Amino acid sequence: MAPGGKSGSGKKKYKKKAGAFVTQKKRVFRASEPVLSVFMWGINHSISALNHVNIPPILMQDDFRAFTKIRIENHLFNKDTFPSKFKFKSYCPLAFHDLRKRFGVDDASYMHSLTQMEPQPTDSPGRSGAKFYSSHDNRFVIKTILSEEVALFHQIIVQYHQYVVESEGKTLLPQYLGMYRVTVSGAETYILVMRNIFSSSLPVHRKYDLKGSTYTRSASDKEKAKDLPTFKDNDFTGDGMKLDVGATNKGTILKLLQADTIFLTSLKLMDYSLLVGIHDADRQQHEDAKHGTDEEEEATGGSGDETADEDFSGEELVASGGGHVAFTMPRALRPPRPIVVNTAEEAKRAIGADFYPVVNRQMDYYAFSQNQPLPGSPGSGHAEGTDGAAASAMTATKAEATPAGAAATAGTSSGEEAAAASSAAATVEGGEALDSSANKIYYLGLIDVLTHYGPRKMAAHTAKTVKHRSDEISTINPKAYAQRFLEFFDRNVM
């Protein structure tokens, strides 16, 4: 070595110091697909930006054509799943903010549901290769759509918003909460966010996609092989199914469907469906009992000793998302039917009580019981914001729009709820316990409403009527489609 501690090459050698850990200063949005990572990032960005905007009390025409967009280059975080260059565009941010407010969805919880964890793909069949995802708490559905559907929605968003305002949110139409464009590697993906029709807490045991037509309206063998297949009209009638929701609910549902189909017909929209989900409380009770027995046998080594549950407490909870709390009881204390509550405090009060299926009145907007519309559903006398936010347009049912729901209003008043709290069908705060005779909960909502009856559909109608009657096919003019749709449900709702 040369004098002065230098090497033969004349350069000094330095000992490398261990680097200190640097705390991440920016939030990372991790997802299995780059498009989802950018979507989560964009939701966080766009909703956060709204916090710095003065929201006008009245929307103007320009608000329904406005958009915000941002372009990012050389993003440094999570490069395996997060692209270094991308674009994000939010359509009509103020208009959708107002729609979310009217549907009782708070912006903060909307952002939390869509960004806290990666949205999960679902196996729901989609038109034209559409992909479906569910938020981690099952409150929202994320659907990829075509550019033609984006253009169509821009044409009807003013009328859609006006209809929501005039109906005070009492509708079975999809609740559209946001529309976005994500651009990654030059490929554009259009995304629509909607409220989930099904419950975020109670499982659906059977579901149908119903149009009132018969041609190609049977589930395929591949679909039937799924754990939860989507059956269609021919399956529905072949099974001898009826939607047993009671006389009051039937009147409410038909009134809502009539108003909604009149609106869709005015926009020349057709080929929509009513998505039906059925929660069977008796089946759930049987499955819970079997699952509980298996758990106890595993915990006790098959000895049947129940001492493993002695130290159970209402505080031993597992969060299930969406403000719900799920918990496990020892077998001796398990209720005969499933229960979902909102807080740990409610769980403590619930232990040992004889509960029937509980639907969260703030979450399950599209739910109907056999005997009465559930509080917060479109057929009930009132609706509460999902996150406690004030939603003045959803606090009452129009008597002229849903006269059958007027009777339900009195039945859900605070005075009667207080009186019912001591009855056998106990009521948990934040959820409505059902009557023991109501062993099914129905979730009903319109889907796929963005199909315009234009030249392409007219040509398809002409081609199909060569071999099939008009009353068999789905592709018919909007007025005839709506009439057949209503007649089908008039026959099959009881």
Just list the catalytic residues. Answer: 143, 271
- Give the H or E element holding residue 306: none
Distance CA 196, CA 482 (A): 24
| Burial grade of 69 (CB within 10 A; 0-12, 13-18, 19 or more) | middle
Q: Are 364 and 323 in contact (CB under 8 A)?
A: no
Q: Are 293 and 285 in contact (CB under 8 A)?
A: no
**Measured CA distances, 443 to 149, 264, 339, 364 (Å):** 25, 21, 17, 8
Alpha helices per DSSP H over 364-454: 403-411, 414-420
Cα distance between the two ends of the chain: 97
**Measured CA distances, 359 to 213, 331, 340, 371, 428 (Å):** 32, 22, 7, 14, 10
Strand partners, 88: 70, 182
| Burial grade of 460 (CB within 10 A; 0-12, 13-18, 19 or more) | middle
Distance CA 453, CA 341 (A): 44
Distance CA 324, CA 347 (A): 10
Could you list the beta-strand ranges (E) of 281-323.
317-321
Tokens of 281: 């409380």
Tokens of 158: 């003013």
Distance between alpha carbon 229 and the CA centroid of its chain, in Å?
Answer: 18
* Strand, helix or coil for residue 189: strand
Strand-strand pairing, 358-360 and 317-321: unpaired
Distance CA 469, CA 465 (A): 6
Alpha helices per DSSP H over 104-146: 107-115
